Amino acid sequence: MRHYEYRTAEATVRVTDRAPDLHPEAEEILNQVDLPPTHALSVDGAREALRDLLVSDDEPDDDLTVRDLSIPGPDGPGTTLDVRAYTPAAAGADADGRPVFVYFHGGGWVRGDLDTHDGLCRLLAQAADCVVLSVGYRRAPEHPFPAPVYDAYAATAWAAEYAEIVGGDPDRIAVGGDSAGGNLAAAVTLLARERDGPDIDHQVLIYPVTDHDFSTDSYHENAEGYLLSRASMQWYWDRYLADDLDGANPYASPLRASDLSELPSATVVTAGYDPLRDEGAAYADRLREAGVSVTHAEYPGMVHVFVSFPELSRSQDARETIASDLDAAFGR
């Protein structure tokens, strides 16, 4: 694998596969996937299509304890959130209290669930040797913005208080997610800062949505043909926002936050053939300019969702980068 890194006092930028053409592993993904575009489907149809793509019938081959729990939701007594905790087998210095990585699944805030991201969460728990707490937040359009943000924040606050229940250390908390889940993770760090909420050691943003804007170069260059299309992102946003004016809210569009200082260190993963490439890179730049330590891991030849395909070397490389950054953030 060909990559290099450059470092400044504030950031590490890792660039992988500088070739401008689509990587053979990305072509492999595109050849495997034969799904109608999301924007041509009903909400139920879109949800089922993602399950068909990502849910496996294979028995997992890992040494994890997996527990499904219900935790308090953000709307008072009687409201709950479903979460799934992945705890590595006890071993080593962290056996009685591993760091906790609170994870928010992708799917455009509309689709995706605990099952679609079960495989990825298992891989992350093993790679980072930490407890992964996957959050089944409420989805649009039934529950539009800001409901998913408040769910994500409630789950993070719960982890910071009750991590011992799942074998975690409440004093070592990170948040992360892919795509729309990366958007929620970024929003949670903003909300935690504003509310003087739980201390978050690190944020992992995997090809995150950071802005309600379809005018970037990457949106035009990758408008269609690479799994995630411009029209499908518009479809997602239309269902997530009850009002287009909400798109200017920094909890919906973190890139529009006026101040990104004093946020947790970050790992930002972007893919070259992805409409979200430029806004992810722009968010990494804004964090760095605000004095936040950032690793921006670029994969120019890859497409959206590549990290969810565990057999790909680029997916493995991304997971290793994430695990290394989590280790550093947790002081291990």
The residues that are catalytic are: 179, 274, 304
Q: Counting beta carbons within 10 angstroms of the beta carbon of residue 36, is it exposed (0 to 12), middle (13 to 18) or buried (19 or more)?
A: exposed
Q: How far is Cα 120 from Cα 31, in angstroms, rounded to an integer?
A: 21
Tell me the H-state helices in the chain: 24-32, 43-54, 118-128, 147-162, 180-194, 217-221, 230-240, 277-289, 313-329
How is 283-324 classified by DSSP, letter by letter? Answer: HHHHHHHTT--EEEEEEEEEETTGGG-TTSHHHHHHHHHHHH
* Residues in CB range of 133: below 8 A, 6 or more apart: 83, 84, 85, 86, 100, 101, 102, 103, 155, 159, 166, 168
| Whether 266 contacts 220, CB under 8 Å | no
The conformation of residue 145, written as its DSSP 8-state character, comes to T
Neighbours of 52 (CB within 10 A): 12
Give SS3 for 70.
strand
Cα 55 from Cα 113, distance rounded (Å): 10
**Angle at CA 120, nearest 5°, toward 117 and 123?**
150
